[in-house]
Structure 1
Amino acid sequence: MRILAAGDHFVGPDLLEQALHAELDGAEVSGLRLPWPVEPFGPVGGVEEASGTEQQVIEALDGATVSVTQMAPFTERVFESNPQLRLVAVGRGGPVNVDLGAATRAGVAVTYAPGRNAAAAAEYAVGMMLAAMRRIPASDSELKQGRWRGDLYAYPDAGIELDGTTVGLVGYGAIGRIVARVLRAFGATVLVADPFADPADVRDDGVEPVELDDLLTRSSVVSLHARLTPETKHLINADKLALMPHGAVLVNTARGGLLDYAPLPDALHSGRLGALAVDVYDTEPPPADWPLHEAPNVVATPHLAGATRQTAHRAAGIVAAEVGRFARGEPLAHVANPDVLDRQS
């Protein structure tokens, strides 16, 4: 079996190769390193979030029947150029760098790696909440520039605690559940709005299921953890922001498209929004003239929520395990296009 390990500067081809050799004896593995995250991902050949070029992948496959990757673009052109390909294992929460329709037409099974960064993203979200609520980055920057901001201890500028605060989570998947558990340990009251979550399961976690508008009205801190779909695009817009308590904190470490960024500068300048913490954007990276660069009380980081070494190892292990199952003829764990399996059998 010839396998292409199409890695990058986070989940490197060497890491993928190690995981594959631990799973399989005698596999022939070749490597390709793509430029992400040194260079941002973007649309490539019809897929929305990929790194590198179609031609790089076509040439690197060179007869491989299996590929493991995180960011390589698997497009219709790639599948047409490699008719021998039978499996693409993607080390992400969803195979957004794969043209799933083209893969299905080509008879290629596509798997993915749900939950591989859940712990990392959850911890980061809580860190962003604390950073925004207590103005940690701003005060750090001021001190390093020689300014002692004792005035931030004054009551009007003092932060708020998680203990006793109501925090609303929009979305309650693997990441949201970990965030809720951590917040409850801090002493926060946690509300959840997720139409796909079982209310009984939510209550069993010690969390209150509510509708979105109720969550926004009652929460001093709101954190987004939903998937981006046509239905959730700009889920939080100007009308929804108006429901939030004056001075509330908003956190987005999920997907940029969940949030309409246009009304945020005015909301921050007016104090309607007390602070904003974002790790994802409608355009990545945001432009130099991005209005939020000049807005007060903004914590902004360059899409780092999932960036832990454990996540990289976990992703490599999950895709290697799928290749092992494929090689042994066992059922695959996370298949995005299961109809293909009937055609392969």
Structure 2
Amino acid sequence: MSRPAMRTVVVTQRFFDEETISYLNSQGCEVRLADLPPGKADGDLSEDTLAQILADADGWIVGHAKVTRQLLGRLPRLQVIARRGVGYERVDTAAVAHLGKVAAVAAGGNDACVADHALALMLAASHRLRESQMRMNAGAWTILTGTDLYRKTVGVVGLGRIGRGVVQRLKGFEARILAATTKPDEEWGRKHGVAYVDLHTLLASSDVVSLHAPLTPDTRMLIDARALAHMKPTAILVNTARGGLVDDAALLDALKAGKLAAAGLDVFLSESDPSYTSVTSELIALPNVIATPHSSASTREGLARTNRIAAQCTVAVLQGGALPAGCVIADGRPAMEFSENSKGPMHA
């Protein structure tokens, strides 16, 4: 009996581990790692370049490239697009479904590392670590007075997996937790000591505001000049979610004017809108801004987890099986029945 033909899986991400490559190989997949230009990510590649790289791909493990209807129309062989991450605002899910393909995210893979990163930004900003080191580098060892995270009021905007992870970590600081979410879970809130409030109350009452909401038309520029004006001048804003949640120009103005104490930022509006590049440059130059380059999910362990989940999603589609729970964001295949041993329906 002849062996099934190998399927081609193209990965347009760096830091793709050998263990996951071996797993894909064991499932009948030939893995091809895209040769990305130095300092560039797949989101920087043109549609023509992506179409060339993916011309013979059955599966695509993608980072931040835009998955458009026009691109997908040029890739008739492609069956599955698996994001090594959880956000999918750059994926045209309607086009994926219409063209009979599947799109998935690596749900649950990076929750822990992003929640850890959010706490790191809170602590670094509240203890003024960047300012202190900048002064020490300049020869001034004067002591700057920081502030505790202990027993402070922390507002968490969005209570998905990462937001809940942040809440659980804050228990060790005996923090008072406020949360603004579209779907409050009262039982979970009581168990973890969370008070559900509206956004206005959260902003006005919190010493730290941490953003964990998805980027949608309703949440775009959620934190604008008006929202920032509701915050305490001693407050800290942390964003490890999406740059589009914050009007970075308004944030820059608030920080420069002393209307906000500090910010911890892993994401920036300039990532999706180059017209904000100069704003980002000014933000990261401020001594009271702790900045990282959208790296909160990039721990060795977190990348290995998301690599594996994206690979499992890819294999499931190519083999006609069920995807891991919570991973499907678009499925254009005909409805299928699964046995009792299946992990559940694939359709979102």
Q: TM-score range by the shorter chain?
A: 0.7 to 0.9
The answer for the alignment partner of 1:316 in structure 2 is 307
2:38 is aligned with 1:19: no
Describe the shift of the 1:251–1:245 C-alpha distance in structure 2 as closer, same or farther (beyond 3 A).
same
TM-score by length of 2: 0.84
| Larger CA deviation: 119-128 vs 281-290 | 281-290
Q: Equivalences for 1:322-337 in 2 at 5 Å?
A: 322-333=313-324, 334-337=327-330
Unaligned runs of 5+ in 2: 1-5, 339-348
CA-to-partner distance for each residue in 1:19-64, whole Å, 9 max, x for gaps? 3125x1x33333323348x2256xxxxxxxx342333333333433
CA-to-partner distance for each residue in 1:41-100, whole Å, 9 max, x for gaps? 6xxxxxxxx342333333333433333333454433433233232222222203444332
CA-to-partner distance for each residue in 1:90-143, whole Å, 9 max, x for gaps? 222034443323322321111111232111111111110111111011101221
| Larger CA deviation: 325-334 vs 171-180 | 325-334
RMSD after superposition: 2.6
The answer for the alignment partner of 1:307 in structure 2 is 298
Once the two structures are TM-superposed, the CA of residue 227 in structure 1 deviates from its matched residue by: 0.8
Unaligned runs of 5+ in 1: 42-49, 153-157
- Provide the rounded CA distance (Å) in 1 between the counterparts of 2:56 and 2:252: 52
Once the two structures are TM-superposed, the CA of residue 319 in structure 1 deviates from its matched residue by: 1.7
CA contact (8 A) 1:276 1:297 kept: yes
Say which SS state the counterpart of residue 296 (structure 2) adopts: coil
- Provide the rounded CA distance (Å) in 1 between the counterparts of 2:56 and 2:37: 23
The answer for the alignment partner of 1:4 in structure 2 is 9
Q: Equivalences for 1:207-218 in 2 at 5 Å?
A: 207-218=194-205
CA contact (8 A) 1:11 1:70 kept: no
2:284 is aligned with 1:282: no
The answer for the alignment partner of 1:84 in structure 2 is 77
Identity percentage over the alignment? 36
Look up the equivalent residue of 1:129 and give its one-letter code. M
| Larger CA deviation: 50-59 vs 316-325 | 50-59
- Provide the rounded CA distance (Å) in 1 between the counterparts of 2:253 and 2:55: 53
- Provide the rounded CA distance (Å) in 2 between the counterparts of 1:114 and 1:331: 15
From 172, 175, 182, give the equivalent of 1:188. 175
Describe the shift of the 1:300–1:163 C-alpha distance in structure 2 as closer, same or farther (beyond 3 A).
same
- Provide the rounded CA distance (Å) in 2 between the counterparts of 1:261 and 1:74: 26
Say which SS state the counterpart of residue 273 (structure 1) adopts: coil
CA contact (8 A) 1:246 1:274 kept: yes
CA contact (8 A) 1:40 1:51 kept: yes
CA contact (8 A) 2:87 2:214 kept: no
CA contact (8 A) 1:17 1:29 kept: yes
Q: Equivalences for 1:1-345 in 2 at 5 Å?
A: 1-11=6-16, 16-22=20-26, 24=27, 26-35=28-37, 38-39=39-40, 50-150=43-143, 152=144, 158-284=145-271, 287-288=277-278, 290-292=281-283, 295=286, 297-333=288-324, 334-342=327-335
CA contact (8 A) 2:204 2:230 kept: yes
Say which SS state the counterpart of residue 73 (structure 2) adopts: helix
